[in-house]
């Protein structure tokens, strides 16, 4: 599945942990606080569990938006934005 993940985290240390966690799961940074990620449902559950360990619920906000296969080609890219390519076989 294809996910768009955004976050607003005021603490530098936690923000870095979230970014590194998203990178660990194959996320690609498309803006400072926005990642796109091709991820299996099983790994999505693992990702959410790891993010919950870092997150401070009353201070941080993390949003995960699934984009369906019919919606993804409709994404409009402006300026220097580039489409995120689907990865080949990955083992996590």
Spatial contact of 21 and 54, defined as CB atoms under 8 Å apart: yes
* 3-class state of residue 33 by DSSP: coil
pLDDT at 88 (0 to 100): 55
Rg (CA), the chain: 13
pLDDT at 57 (0 to 100):
94
Predicted local distance difference test score (pLDDT) of residue 34: 96
Domain boundaries along the sequence of the chain: 2-68
CATH number of this structure's domain 2-68, picked from the four choices 3.30.70.240, 3.40.50.150, 3.40.50.1100, 3.30.70.600 = 3.30.70.240
Instruction: Give 37-60 pLDDT, tens digit per residue.
Output: 999 999 999 999 999 999 999 999
Q: pLDDT tens, 9-43?
A: 999 999 999 999 999 999 999 999 999 999 999 99
């Amino acid at each position: 599945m294809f996910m768009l993940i955004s976050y607003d985290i005021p603490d530098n240390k936690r923000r870095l942990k979230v970014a590194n966690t998203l990178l660990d799961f194959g996320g690609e940074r498309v803006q400072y606080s926005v990642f796109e990620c091709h991820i299996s449902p099983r790994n999505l559950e693992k990702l959410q569990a790891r993010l919950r360990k870092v997150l401070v619920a009353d201070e941080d906000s993390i949003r995960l938006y699934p984009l369906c296969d019919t919606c993804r080609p409709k994404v409009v890219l402006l300026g220097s934005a580039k489409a995120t390519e689907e990865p080949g076989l990955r083992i996590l």
